[in-house]
A and B are shown apart, each in its own frame.
Chain A
Amino acid sequence: MKTDRSLVGWLAAPAVFYLTIVYALPLGWLLARSMMGPDGFSLILFKEFFADPFSWRVIGNTLRIAGLVTILCLVMGYPVAFALARARGVVQVILLAAIILPLSIGVVVKAFAWQIVLRRDGVVSQFLVGIGVWSEPQRLLFTETGLVVGAANVFLPFMILPIYSVVKLIDPRLMEAGATLGVGPVSRFFRILFLLTLPGIVSGIAFVFSLSVSMFVIPSLLIGDRFQTLATLTGRSFLLMRNEALGSVTATVLLVLAVTIVLVSSFLARRAGRFA
């Protein structure tokens, strides 16, 4: 049978059409809006934005929170990915369910749940007082710590799953081979497992970072208006302040930041894992 390969591309047409209408066009409009001055094209809006120290604080907040959430997810998720990949049978099914099922719960629901957990009389506070870490109950809600902990919980699966999919394919005998070549466990980990899981780590970082740099609901509910990130500021600009100019600028800055970091990290990974 003869298949015309050029026709296969048309199968993507519905999706391309759909995304163009609902995604590319509005995004293009947003970008265009941010580069519009009083009389046509101008970068005056960006100039004003970057001249304001408040903007820098917002950018700092955004990157700091996203960075901390990403690191926390990586530290917690990496071992879990291994446990998941090495588990067998029922244990693996239970672990997978525990990781994937929470994804079906809405972010709003989870954020409200964290509000309860992080309250002054919440579980965390009571526990820490109970074991003597804190001398009196404290409120984690509306703090940066609370935000990072809550966001890490929501985004953890997006770190675990890409790493898991890579670990699953790694032959456990590679570490044994390293051992029989006289290489100790720590060095073996960095020279074999770490390098081989790097592609998974990078996709995990890219997922979690781009999700947490642009999260809106979670900071709105867990830290509130006092603490602004690029995403919440964009939301406020459009929804509350009706300031399209500011909103389009913050949205553009956010987009550029996220895309840059994802591109740089995947470039670094490709260099590190040459054959991987």
Chain B
Amino acid sequence: MIEPFLEVRNAQKNFGPTTVLDGVTLGVTKGEFVSLLGPSGCGKTTLLRIIAGLTGADVGDVRLDRQDITKLPPHKRDVGVVFQNYALFPHLSVLENISFGLKGRVAKDEATRIAGRFLELVHMRDFADRSVRALSGGQQQRVAVARALAVAPKLLLLDEPFSALDRKLRETMQIELKRLLRELGTTAIFVTHDQDEALVMSDRIAVMNQGRIEQLDTPEALYQNPATSFALQFVGLSTRIFGEVIGQQDGNGILIETRHGVIRAQGNFVRGSKVVIGVRPERISLGAHEGQNSITPQLTDIVFQGARVQVHFASTENEPIILESSARLPASLAPGEAVSISWAPEDTLVFPREASA
């Protein structure tokens, strides 16, 4: 197998008694766009800072382009960063910000020319001589991206660069950034806690939880085949029901006892295992069907979402029951009624139930 372009091996980091990174290993191929997705405090920003060299790891090493960069200071790594608050130099103009890293590397005319080209790429040519303080959030973000890319880093790291933008602008910027990075062939790692953002932008997503990468996969694989109950819960909506394995069926099927009745699924679990059952909402349909898992929970809410309709059922916080349909629902459905819903045993995902879940 070829060596990945960026490789982080067994990165560990503690801040005092708190373990922030608990042995993270990550490989990224050249030109790839990988997201680190996870809730705040999962260690994603720390991992990013370790790759950039802004924070030292306690254990582990970082290799970039066949070179060990673990001990290199940030300015010798060739790793660009777009900071969450952009960190633009307030005493410099837009153009001076973008050419900041070029000074001393290339001749002055060349620096201005390159900076001008990147200004153009991010549609900011008319703002070259403005103070960065006079820019809106979206404009600052563009300047920050142009500044990081102008020095042609081997790797670009982005730390939640869209979190300060409103939704509409965020979507525009996401598409723009993705196009720009594809054109330049830049390898990028993107930190976010927003699963939609990660799904839209990434070639692959690393789902992080409590200082570990739980799963590194394509957005589709992550959605269809989450590796852990955390990945199931964090990416996309899901129906989740707690249960206990009560027996094996013919083939590799298992029977799970839940508060909604016995549910059939595939998988290998020892009798007595505590498990979480997961089903994606679009896999569930109304009505009871032969050969499928069927339960009859109480309907609580019908949420119209344009192309789709979401139906919520009575549940606890950790055990939501959600159905999503693109078809028209029967008019007779009303909150308060018990409604039969069903899904195929193959669509039933089963995970061991962790102590925290």
A-to-B contact residues, CB < 8 Å: 171, 173-174, 176-185, 187-188, 191-192, 195-196, 273-276
Beta-carbon contact of A176 and B81 below 8 Å = yes
Beta-carbon contact of B83 and A173 below 8 Å = yes
Beta-carbon contact of A179 and B87 below 8 Å = no
Of B54, B91, B147, chain A has the most CB atoms within 10 Å of the CB of B91
Q: Is B230 an interface residue (CB 8 A)?
A: no
Residue of A nearest to B144 (CB): A177
Beta-carbon contact of A181 and B73 below 8 Å = no
What are 28 A-B pairs at a CB distance below 8 A?
Answer: A173-B85, A174-B87, A174-B89, A174-B90, A176-B52, A176-B74, A176-B83, A176-B87, A177-B89, A178-B89, A179-B54, A180-B74, A180-B75, A180-B79, A180-B80, A180-B148, A181-B80, A182-B76, A183-B104, A185-B75, A187-B104, A192-B91, A195-B91, A274-B91, A275-B91, A275-B92, A275-B131, A276-B91
**Do A173 and B87 contact each other (CB < 8 Å), given the known contacts A182-B75, A183-B75, A275-B133?**
yes
User: Which chain B positions have C-beta within 8 A of A182?
Assistant: 75-76, 78, 101, 105, 151
Of A181, A187, A188, chain B has the most CB atoms within 10 Å of the CB of A181
Residue of A nearest to B130 (CB): A275
Beta-carbon contact of A196 and B78 below 8 Å = no
User: Which chain A positions have C-beta within 8 A of B133?
Assistant: 275
- Assembled-state Cα–Cα distance A74/B92 (Å): 25
Sorted nearest first, the 4 A-B pairs with minimum C-beta distance are: A181-B101, A179-B74, A177-B87, A173-B87
Beta-carbon contact of B90 and A196 below 8 Å = yes
Q: How large is the interface on B (under 10, 10 to 19, 20 to 34, 35 or more residues)?
A: 20 to 34
Q: Is B127 an interface residue (CB 8 A)?
A: no
> Assuming A188-B75, A275-B91, what are 8 further A-B pairs, CB within 8 angstroms?
A173-B83, A176-B74, A179-B54, A180-B52, A180-B74, A183-B100, A192-B91, A274-B91
B-to-A contact residues, CB < 8 Å: 52-54, 73-81, 83, 85, 87-93, 100-101, 103-105, 131-133, 147-148, 151, 153
Beta-carbon contact of A275 and B90 below 8 Å = yes
User: Which chain B positions have C-beta within 8 A of A173?
Assistant: 83, 85, 87
Beta-carbon contact of A181 and B91 below 8 Å = no
User: Which chain A positions have C-beta within 8 A of B80?
Assistant: 180-181
- Assembled-state Cα–Cα distance A188/B73 (Å): 13
- Assembled-state Cα–Cα distance A195/B54 (Å): 22
- Assembled-state Cα–Cα distance A186/B76 (Å): 14
User: Which chain B positions have C-beta within 8 A of A276?
Assistant: 90-91
Beta-carbon contact of A177 and B91 below 8 Å = no
The minimal Cβ–Cβ distance linking B148 to chain A, given in whole angstroms, is 7
The minimal Cβ–Cβ distance linking B188 to chain A, given in whole angstroms, is 14
Residue of B nearest to A276 (CB): B91
- Assembled-state Cα–Cα distance A192/B75 (Å): 15
Cross-interface CB contact of B81 among A180, A191, A195, cutoff 8 Å: A180
User: Which chain A positions have C-beta within 8 A of B83?
Assistant: 173, 176-177
- Assembled-state Cα–Cα distance A276/B93 (Å): 11
User: Which chain B positions have C-beta within 8 A of A187?
Assistant: 104
User: Which chain A positions have C-beta within 8 A of B90?
Assistant: 174, 196, 275-276
**Do A178 and B100 contact each other (CB < 8 Å), given the known contacts A196-B90, A275-B92, A275-B131?**
yes
User: Which chain A positions have C-beta within 8 A of B54?
Assistant: 176, 179-180
- Assembled-state Cα–Cα distance A182/B101 (Å): 6
User: Which chain B positions have C-beta within 8 A of A171?
Assistant: 85, 87
Beta-carbon contact of A192 and B104 below 8 Å = no
